[in-house]
Structure 1
Amino acid sequence: MTGTYQLLKNRAHLVIGGAMLFTAMCISTKPLLAQDLHFSQFMNNPLLTNPANTGFNPDFDYRIGGSYRNQWWGLPVPYKTMSLWGDVQLLRDESSTGWLGVGGVLLRDVAGSGNLTSTKAYGSIAWHQELGYNSLISAGFNVGVASKRIDIANFTWENQWNGKFFDATITSGEAFAFSQIGYLDLQAGLNYAWFPSDKVYFNAGVSMLHLNRPRESFFNDALSNNRVPARYNAFVNATVKLNDQWIINPNVYYSQQAGSSEIVGGLMAQYNLGEYGEQQVIGGAYFRPGDAAIAMLGLQWKDVRFTMSYDATTSSLKQFNNGNGAIEFSVIKFGTFSGRSPRASRCPTF
């Protein structure tokens, strides 16, 4: 997990010390320890984890969700990440053994004193094929556009330090060609699900992001050929109904990019407050080794689920953020189209 620590340390230095790290990010031609947008509640951002999750919702016809993450708010310039996503099942009535999932994701992240702003939009598609009654395989693909922008005037540079303060009248000498860039981004993934009974569900998936390794640089091509390194994700998830009051959901998520890695694992539990599960209390605990302990609390009311989580920093980065890692909120609405006959549940439910 030293890779995760290095990723987060780089982000902290961008806020505190800033400009020199940013320059290295822009002009380096080697794979970078750069950090993609991410959420601790990976299970509540399924299309970001794996495009094969698009329409992968056996008990409902559609989902709409959103998340907001505020990371390191104790610093002068915290990191704010937002997502909005949705997916829907199609061709369910045309095929007795499979269906098509279609969806989309909007992402926005604002980071650091230079207001490095990332805006991304993806369209996603996946096919889900039943393998008998107890298993399902899914393959998905998405294509998107990404835009990044910086406020160059907000940066200060080493040569502008006059011994007392940073003098903005001194030319930095940095040869920026653009303050905004854009590129095409491609991702693909596979999932497998197993339903051995109405009390146990298991699935696992792998995905590859940035398949096309898009060029990303605020300098001209003559100075830089920096490309976004491919990112590999994997997850394992299970849902077990213990009784009419409790359902537990252990899961593990792993991500690797440019030699750096991150792993998040833990357990979420749902407690039934009503006769048929219309109201549920949700609690969870997760751990990101070498970085943070994550506590989660939520509530489900009929077809709407709200969860919040808090990342408590456990690494030496506590000296920068006073232990205030991140706070994150997610909301998801599930739905079934009117006039469509209800399907038998494939996942453990109350």
Structure 2
Amino acid sequence: MKSIRIYLKKLCKTQFFRKFSIVFVMLLMVVLVRAQDAHFSQYYASPIIYNPAQTGVFPDTDLRVATQYRSQWGTMAPNFSMASFTGEKRINNKYGVGAYMLNDDGVKSFNTFNFVISGSYLVTSFFEKEMILSVGLQAGMIYKYIKKNALSFDSQYINGAFNSDLPSGEVIDRYNRLMPEVNLGVNFERTKKEVMFNPYTSFAIMHCTYPKESFLENGKSRLSPRFILIGGTRVNYNDNLFFDPKILIMKQSNNYELNIGISSIYNYTPDLAFTGGVSYRLKDAVILMGGCKYKNIMYRVSYDIVTSSLKTYTRGHGGLEFSVVFMDLGRSGSLL
């Protein structure tokens, strides 16, 4: 047994073992971050993030600004968080322009930042047709980086105590990766208010360039395209009450996500409306959402109740998410 311990101790100090440890940590971080790729439960609060063809496509206003924040699995160390900011405008009822920023702090030693410019073309006009058909294109960048100060290595431990001032003794090829981002999409909506049902659907392909994302010089890992299908129908129950059953399907490599739900909105007064909803993300969580709209601002909060085996490690804690959507700022002249 003593000889085995001596052998293992020598193995841990070898260059091979240290390089293997670095590669393993990097692979683990990539897997964790991919699982959180644009993982908003309130995906309908920032549709521009999920389909470029929806840029500037909203019938009740020609200007829209939104922000979202999500904190997930707060009992785990570290927890996951994500924030976004989007802005978009319709021009001449024919074009949509906009942009978004998305910051994914998946694990505290790894971060992903997106900046994307978005544009859409309305094949049909808002006022001449009973439907909207639009196509869209996005271009931008994805910046992934490792926070090297958040990493620790065996050479930085003395008698079991960690000292960040000690050199790691490791050589990592790179700590960041800049990748191009190109997305394509198509969107269809029925907009006839006189009828009860107005169906809609959209399809998008993200990461069309299949960019290289490995941090290793000889690494071959690439960011797989992500396919997004969204569908549903807006139900005009009466002049004040509306329902919206919807579905989201995403596929990236061998990973799937299916989200089925329904939301509603009730116009209490011309300036005040209430919204609520429930959805189920397959093999993951039940999502409860509530909020209100006051004048030109929509406030929403949602909470994910974990239903997967992960609830054992999170002690039942899920994801808390907030969104604020500002609409028609140019016409109102005020945010409040």
Output the amino acid matched with 1:102: V
- Which residue, out of 168, 177, 197, partners 1:200? 197
Q: 2-side partners of 1:235 and 1:158: how far apart?
A: 47
- Which residue, out of 225, 239, 261, partners 2:220? 225
Measured after TM superposition, the shift of residue 293 of structure 1 is 0.5
User: What's the TM-score once normalised by structure 1's chain length?
Assistant: 0.80
- Which residue, out of 106, 125, 129, partners 2:123? 129
Q: Percent identity?
A: 25
Unaligned 5+ residue runs, structure 1? 1-17, 93-98, 340-350
Q: 1-side partners of 2:87 and 2:43: how far apart?
A: 15
- Which residue, out of 142, 159, 171, partners 2:138? 142
**Which residue of structure 1 lines up, in the alignment, with residue 212 of structure 2?**
215
Give the number of equivalent residue pairs: 307
**Which residue of structure 2 lines up, in the alignment, with residue 279 of structure 1?**
272
Output the amino acid matched with 2:121: W
Q: 1-side partners of 2:29 and 2:143: how far apart?
A: 15
3-state SS of paired residue (1:130) = coil
Measured after TM superposition, the shift of residue 111 of structure 1 is 2.2
**Which residue of structure 2 lines up, in the alignment, with residue 333 of structure 1?**
326
**Which residue of structure 1 lines up, in the alignment, with residue 79 of structure 2?**
78
**Which residue of structure 1 lines up, in the alignment, with residue 304 of structure 2?**
311
Measured after TM superposition, the shift of residue 171 of structure 1 is 5.5
Q: 1-side partners of 2:304 and 2:203: how far apart?
A: 25
String of CA shifts for 1:33-68, please: whole Å, max 9, x gaps: 654222000100101111101011122111010000
Measured after TM superposition, the shift of residue 320 of structure 1 is 1.3
Q: Does 1:24 align with 2:18?
A: no
Q: Does 1:178 align with 2:178?
A: no
RMSD: 2.8
**Which residue of structure 1 lines up, in the alignment, with residue 55 of structure 2?**
54
Q: Does 1:117 align with 2:111?
A: yes
Point out which structure has higher relative CO (alpha carbons under 8 A, 6+ apart): 1
Check whether the contact 1:119–1:148 (CA below 8 A) recurs between aligned residues.
yes
3-state SS of paired residue (1:324) = coil
3-state SS of paired residue (2:318) = strand
Larger radius of gyration: 2
Q: 1-side partners of 2:286 and 2:158: how far apart?
A: 42
Query: Given the superposition, is the C-alpha separation of residues 85 and 27 from structure 1 closer, same or farther in structure 2, using an over 3 Å criterion?
Result: closer
User: What's the TM-score once normalised by structure 2's chain length?
Assistant: 0.83
**Which residue of structure 1 lines up, in the alignment, with residue 44 of structure 2?**
43
**Which residue of structure 1 lines up, in the alignment, with residue 239 of structure 2?**
244
Q: 1-side partners of 2:314 and 2:36: how far apart?
A: 18
String of CA shifts for 1:56-108, please: whole Å, max 9, x gaps: 1122111010000001111121111000001101123xxxxxx1000000111
Q: 1-side partners of 2:276 and 2:320: how far apart?
A: 15
Q: 1-side partners of 2:56 and 2:211: how far apart?
A: 27
Query: Given the superposition, is the C-alpha separation of residues 38 and 219 from structure 1 closer, same or farther in structure 2, using an over 3 Å criterion?
Result: same
Unaligned 5+ residue runs, structure 2? 1-20
